[in-house]
A and B are shown apart, each in its own frame.
Chain A
Amino acid sequence: MLVLEDLRFAYPEQVESYAFTMEARASEITAISGTSGSGKSTLLDLIGGFAVASDGSLSLDGEDLLPLPPEGRPLSLLLQSESLFEHLTVARNVALGLPNADRKAKQQIGEALEQVGLEGLEDRRAAALSGGQKQRVALARTLLRDKRLLLLDEPFSALDEETRAATRQLVRSLTRQQNWITILVSHNADDVRALADRHYVIRDKRLEQIPVEPIARSS
């Protein structure tokens, strides 16, 4: 379980600091929403280690994450764009999820791509993929990394409706199957309704848990 307790952060010249308290569980998708500039991405930066908290605690299954740099935290990231290195091939992008490129790597990459429905695209350059395919490649890499936490920052916002629904479904099933703790930041109500097992809203720099709308369970 990921636990944030009064995790505080303030930008320079900001008088009142953010203070985040929340819980996120394994095999669940915890959605964070809020208005533009409310601090959604700041929260992800704090969990990811890209911003340094001034106070409070952040732990994963009892382990304190705050002293760890981003590369030392057990997490994978999926962003709206830039999740892939576009000049590399699909296989090379996915291979970055493996600690060592050994003989098994090719097979593992193939299996990961198969799981996200992109088998056979290993040698294609990432730049030549559609928005939905790029996100699937990033998910394949996440599968190989096999980290506990998956942080999603508006990952569906550049996708068309059909691709969006399919990618959402993939995220949901992988979270269940891999036992990930998935945190989704989104300002899109449909994404939140479709995916959230838990839902927090940021208001006045604080997290407030609100009930999940029924549609979330049925989608």
Chain B
Amino acid sequence: MAPPMFESRHSARASHLPHRPKRVIIASTLAVLIALLIAGLFANILVTAASTTGGTLRTDIWHLVRMTSIQAGLTTVLSIAIGIALAWALNRLRFFGRDLVIGVFAAAIVTPGIVVAFGMLSIWGRSGWINSATTYLFGESIGNLAFGLWGIIFAHLILDATFAARILLERLDAIPAARLKIGQSLGLSPWQRFTIIDWPAIRGSVPGLAAVIFLLAFTSFPIVLLLGGGPANQTLEVAIFAAVRQQFDLLGAVHLALVQILVCSLVILAAAARPPVPISTGVSTGQNWHDRGPARLLQWGVLGLGIAGFLLPLLAVIFDGVVADLADVLTRPTFWRAATTSVVIGLSSAALTLILALGLGLGRAASARRTLRLGLGLPVFAYLAVPAVVLSLGFFLSVRNLGIAPAEAAPIVVIIANALLALPFASATLGPPLEGLVQNKAKLIRSLGLNSWQQLRYIELPLLRREVGVVLALAFCFSFGDLGVIALFGTQDFQTLPLMMYRALGSYRSDDAAVIAALLLVATILAFIALPRLFERLLDARS
């Protein structure tokens, strides 16, 4: 007889799912722990706001909200537009190195913001490549184009437009071959093809993607910190950091954090209120329909500009790192201490992220009850409502209220905070294939009488090895390149590479910063490429 939990009328799901109560209990426990932690941090922010009477609010909140919204809004609109154009071009064109270009675009999501900001300075800054060229050619420079609103937006576009392109390209590549055949046999023009075949395939993804990009831009920290160029272009996230670390204005920081949470929650609610749109997945095999004439020229133009816009700043980072005094930085003990701290924190956060994502995902996939499944999915989105600096502020206040020096709690806090920050991306990577796998193999698993461990060991882990590797790579890279959390907790004795780089920039040691930026970039991209392959092989060999 089926256990009571599966006896509801909720769905046909229940009738064939393997009975895994322990998975549901573990997932529920994790979800409650995460929810309690977030609630505790949030409560600390609120209590501090209510009890602090001595501080004064020295910041114009509405100016910050307006600036942050304008910056995030422009970033979102332009990222989606450029992302669509790039995805369209990549979907149509076949050329040597196409897979490499797509792979590099995929790495945009993990490229540290501080590295991109540095790349912008290398190209568009006062002593950057563009100014050097104009001074050499015309005898005068065109000024610093990296700072200010458009510098911030351009840096965001490097990360977010390529991220959008990667997601939208997957949708275009998944258009069924049969639909393409019909369209081609009807002789649709490039414009008709886009409006009749492409747009319906991608439009369902645009609102969710826009919401994610808006939130990423709204809560962007290192790029605004480095390229903001002063209070005029400051955003809420940077203002919170400045309030805590520079002005020691906790009340101001708490007010700003509350406003930040409110705006982010509104965006999430608006995005979540839209009914989900079914999307095609997989890769269509019938793609040999190439546009001709002006459309093809336009595709090459878009792709060329996209590659140049994305790669130039990153190439500049590597070039500047190589021509700076690499050996000098590499022989310093402080560098190796920071590098070791970064790697240890990155690996620990990645392991914790995987445990959380797998624990929640397995329980969710084993559960038939809709409300329980919803409940297990909610804590995952903690980061979207409570961004990095706010989360760090919550931790900072909690640690202080417990009478612990922030420096002492720093390692644990940075690991937990980074794991929570990576959790939405990890769950988005692992959740859907895990659900699909459990659904598709449920009858087979039950008929073979496999227990929970056998199901994990012989079916789920081997079949999801790629996704497990991707989750570890994403979480490691996010944590490795993070500046938002470490900025509040870092000390001279406890610093990561991004923090060391930020401090080097702050004290005008740009050569040091250049070397660290180049190493950060190379290490992040290598980890992003190597970790999934490593785990794919590891789990494959053991299965």
Q: Which residues of A contact B (CB under 8 A)?
A: 48, 50, 69-73, 75-77, 79-85, 87-88, 96-97, 145
Contacts and interface: CB of A to CB of B under 8 A. Distances in A.
Interface residues of B, number: 17
Contacts of B182: 77, 79, 82-85
A85 B181 contact: no
A15 to B, nearest CB: 21
Interface string B140-179: 0000000000000000000000000000000000001011
A82 to B, nearest CB: 4
B181 A70 contact: yes
Contacts of A145: 186
A146 to B, nearest CB: 13
Contact of B185 (A77, A80, A84, A88): A77
Nearest to A141: B186
A82 B289 CA distance: 17
SS of A interface (majority):
loop
B176 A82 contact: yes
B179 A71 contact: no
A76 B185 CA distance: 7
Given A50-B181, A87-B200, 16 more contacts: A50-B286, A70-B185, A71-B184, A71-B185, A71-B186, A71-B187, A76-B185, A79-B182, A81-B178, A82-B178, A82-B179, A83-B178, A84-B182, A85-B179, A85-B196, A88-B196
Contacts of A87: 200
Contacts of B288: 50
Nearest to A69: B184
SS of B interface (majority):
helix
7 contacts: A79-B182, A81-B178, A82-B176, A82-B178, A82-B179, A83-B182, A85-B197
A97 B179 CA distance: 15
Interface string B178-217: 1101101111100010001100100000000000000000
Interface in B104-145: none
A10 B268 CA distance: 51
B184 A50 contact: yes
A43 to B, nearest CB: 14
A69 B185 CA distance: 9
B186 A97 contact: yes
A69 B184 CA distance: 9
Contact of B200 (A69, A75, A76, A85): A85
A85 B175 CA distance: 12
Of B186, B197, B200, the most chain A CB neighbours within 10 A belong to B186
A97 B185 CA distance: 10
A75 B187 CA distance: 11
Nearest to B192: A96
A95 to B, nearest CB: 10
A73 B184 CA distance: 10
A56 to B, nearest CB: 19
Of B179, B182, B196, B200, the most chain A CB neighbours within 10 A belong to B182
A88 B195 CA distance: 11
A48 B185 contact: yes
Interface string B277-298: 0000000001011000000000
Nearest to B178: A82
Nearest to A99: B187
A148 B461 CA distance: 53
A210 to B, nearest CB: 28
A96 B188 contact: yes
B279 to A, nearest CB: 13
Interface in B38-78: none
Contact of A77 (B176, B181, B192, B197): B181
B55 to A, nearest CB: 55
The 7 closest A-B pairs by CB, nearest first: A71-B187, A82-B178, A70-B184, A77-B185, A82-B179, A87-B200, A79-B178
